Structure 1
Amino acid sequence: MDTNSKACCSASRHTAGQEQPPIPTLEVAQTDVPNVPKLQDMVLIQGGTFLMGTDDQEGFPSDGEGPVREVTVKAFYIDPCTVTNAEFKQFVDQTGYMTEAESFGWSFVFHLFVSEETAKQVKTTVQQTPWWWVVEGADWRHPEGPDSHVEDRMDHPVTQVSWHDAMAYCRWSGKRLPTEAEWEFAARGGLVKKRYPWGDELKPGGKHMCNIWQGKFPDKNNKSDGYAGTAPVKAFEPNGYGLYNVSGNVWEWCSDWFSPKFHIKGKRDNPSGPPKGEARAMRGGSYLCHRSYCNRYRVAARSKNTPDSSTGNIGFRCAADVSF
């Protein structure tokens, strides 16, 4: 594969050419007491040492996927699924939280999902990735624009949430975002150096194992896996640790700042990424990933976005310490 990594299937606010309003206040009110996480609903990962990253020819060295290295993580809890629309609604209903997309007044929507009526109002697309349209009124409740809704998708992953939004939810829920090392350890499900959470073959026996793009990106999706956009969070089989949809469906925010090189000389014992940066790490790929363009639904694949960015294919899952 060409190791000159193309721009990935998400868009950043700084690429949109929009005049930016003041950065909104994103903290959950200090009077809100964080919930105690229901650890019985989470997956306990015992921790240990594993081989992180890949030197696979399918990978993108420029993303910092390699080299393969021994990394140790301590025990932690992680949610079996990404946060759903129903769960995020409960958070918003209890706190009155306003997401960044709502504060900015717009977010990124994949062009095939924009209605004809909303398309008439679209004035801006992302130059390098023109399938991303700047849509006024797009937010987590209205992921494809003001004339869309999530009422029939409450068991789907919440989208149009920024890293800051994810962090606010984590604070409210008493949880946190996983580190990249924790995410990959859990996503591998106990398998060693496999390309996907279930093995090395994308469709074992012809069976779809995840929600990604089929067809010719970005104009024709055959939907042979059953979905064009997001799928319910338990739509496909879980991995060996009981985690669902760690490949495809939506990108998942991690706590780390993104760097393609820091890990090469960084610590290998519970690594948490570089101390600063401009973008946060994302893992897992999304329903827009296709081998011809964004082959990042592999378990070692990485991407990034600025922490204020939100799109229709970015969500998150939560983790928690074992000390509760």
Structure 2
Amino acid sequence: MTAASAITATFATTQAHAGGKNLAISGGVYRPLYLSKDSPKVTVKPFKMDELPVTNKEFVAFLQKNPNFARGKIAPIFADTGYLKHWQKTANGFAPKTADLNKPVTNVSWYAANQYCKSQGKRLPTVEQWEFVARASATRKDGSAEPNYNQKILDWYSRSSGSDYRLSDVGQTPANYWGVKDMHGLIWEWNENFNNTLVSGESRADSQLNQSMFCGSGSAGAPDPSDYAAFMRYAFRSSLNAKYTVGSLGFRCVS
């Protein structure tokens, strides 16, 4: 079966189960890494997060209704030249390989990810929502103090940065406390406010803030200077532009 025929045959199922279950997150409070140990905690109100990242198959279904976001048609202002570069050329445009249908879609810009979530009646998670859920282990809302918790994440970050990194299907990692899967161990993920966590809008005024955040001496003021996994996430987000595409960067939605 070709990628195109497989997608057509599963279109209805894809629409009904996009993102897997939409799981309830009761919310809570936590102190973000980029604030000092004495800063007020952030309140995360109850919301729902998709169990799984968006797959190639689901993104194709989105493009069938939003062809202006297809590879070769999306405006250059909304995506760089790497947009969906892993999809193969077909008679009708571009499509993922059949073997990749259930893998997370990557090489998508923030603009495309944002539009996809809107089309589902949802939106991208904020950094605060994503980090709140990402703190959970399999049994605790905050598993960051568990032995080897951060090291496991760091081990994956080192693998995912290599040129030989290969994606797996979604849903293969164990669910965390909330029932959410693949928060770690599969891809990086876009957030709604990815580029305003460390900056206030004036790059010259923020230069010292960025330096103190990522220099070793300055990180001593962070709530947990040993949480290198979180530091890497904040550093990665700060390097992004909304039109960028990365082979290990995808997304999921919340409501």
Instruction: Give the TM-score band, short-chain normalised.
Output: 0.5 to 0.7
C-alpha separation between the residues in 2 aligned to 1:236 and 1:297?
Answer: 21
**1:247–1:297 contact (8 Å) kept in structure 2:** no
Are 1:48 and 2:28 matched, yes or no?
A: yes
Match of 2:176 in 1: 239
State the AA in 1 paired with 2:229: R
C-alpha separation between the residues in 2 aligned to 1:152 and 1:51?
Answer: 41
C-alpha separation between the residues in 2 aligned to 1:37 and 1:151?
Answer: 19
**2:67–2:73 contact (8 Å) kept in structure 1:** no
C-alpha separation between the residues in 2 aligned to 1:277 and 1:90?
Answer: 39
Bigger strand share: 1
C-alpha separation between the residues in 2 aligned to 1:210 and 1:237?
Answer: 16
- Name stretches of at least 5 consecutive residues in structure 2 with no aligned partner: 1-14, 204-226
Match of 1:202 in 2: 151
C-alpha separation between the residues in 2 aligned to 1:199 and 1:233?
Answer: 23
The residue matched to 1:256 in structure 2 has which SS? coil
State the AA in 2 paired with 1:250: I
Match of 1:182 in 2: 129
State the AA in 2 paired with 1:67: S
Residue 94 of structure 1 deviates from its aligned partner by: 2.4
**1:51–1:192 contact (8 Å) kept in structure 2:** no
* CA distance 1:201–1:178, change in 2 (3 Å): closer
* CA distance 1:309–1:195, change in 2 (3 Å): farther
C-alpha separation between the residues in 1 aligned to 2:110 and 2:151?
Answer: 29
Match of 1:25 in 2: none
Residue 314 of structure 1 deviates from its aligned partner by: 1.2
C-alpha separation between the residues in 1 aligned to 2:155 and 2:254?
Answer: 22
Match of 1:306 among 238, 241, 245: 241
C-alpha separation between the residues in 2 aligned to 1:187 and 1:306?
Answer: 22
CA offsets 1:65-118 (integer angstroms, 9 cap, x no match):
44355211111011111111111111111232424775468xx9xxxxxxxxxx
Which structure 2 residues correspond to residues 1-324 of structure 1 after superposition, within 5 A? 41-53=21-33, 65-68=34-37, 69=39, 70-99=41-70, 103=74, 138-140=82-84, 142-143=85-86, 149-189=96-136, 190-192=140-142, 194=144, 200=149, 202-203=151-152, 211-214=156-159, 218=162, 228-259=165-196, 261-262=198-199, 276=201, 298-299=229-230, 301-302=233-234, 303-304=236-237, 305-320=240-255
The residue matched to 1:52 in structure 2 has which SS? coil
C-alpha separation between the residues in 1 aligned to 2:150 and 2:246?
Answer: 29
CA offsets 1:288-317 (integer angstroms, 9 cap, x no match):
xxxxxxxx9824631221111112111111
**2:144–2:150 contact (8 Å) kept in structure 1:** no
Q: TM-score, normalization: structure 2?
A: 0.64
**1:160–1:315 contact (8 Å) kept in structure 2:** yes
**2:24–2:47 contact (8 Å) kept in structure 1:** yes
**1:209–1:236 contact (8 Å) kept in structure 2:** no
* CA distance 1:45–1:101, change in 2 (3 Å): farther
The residue matched to 1:184 in structure 2 has which SS? helix
State the AA in 1 paired with 2:168: A
C-alpha separation between the residues in 2 aligned to 1:97 and 1:318?
Answer: 21
Q: TM-score, normalization: structure 1?
A: 0.52
Bigger helix share: 2
C-alpha separation between the residues in 2 aligned to 1:165 and 1:171?
Answer: 10
Residue 235 of structure 1 deviates from its aligned partner by: 1.8
Residue 319 of structure 1 deviates from its aligned partner by: 0.7
**1:100–1:165 contact (8 Å) kept in structure 2:** no
C-alpha separation between the residues in 2 aligned to 1:297 and 1:92?
Answer: 37
C-alpha separation between the residues in 2 aligned to 1:297 and 1:51?
Answer: 15
Larger relative contact order, structure 1 or 2 (CA cutoff 8 Å, min sep 6): 2
C-alpha separation between the residues in 2 aligned to 1:78 and 1:297?
Answer: 25
CA offsets 1:150-184 (integer angstroms, 9 cap, x no match):
32111111011100001110111100011111111
**2:25–2:46 contact (8 Å) kept in structure 1:** yes
* CA distance 1:315–1:102, change in 2 (3 Å): farther
Quote the RMSD (CA, aligned, Å).
4.0
CA offsets 1:174-230 (integer angstroms, 9 cap, x no match):
00011111111111124437178x963534xxxx99854449x756x5xxxxxx321
State the AA in 1 paired with 2:135: R
Q: Would you say how many aligned residue pairs link Structure 1 and Structure 2?
A: 204
Residue 318 of structure 1 deviates from its aligned partner by: 0.4
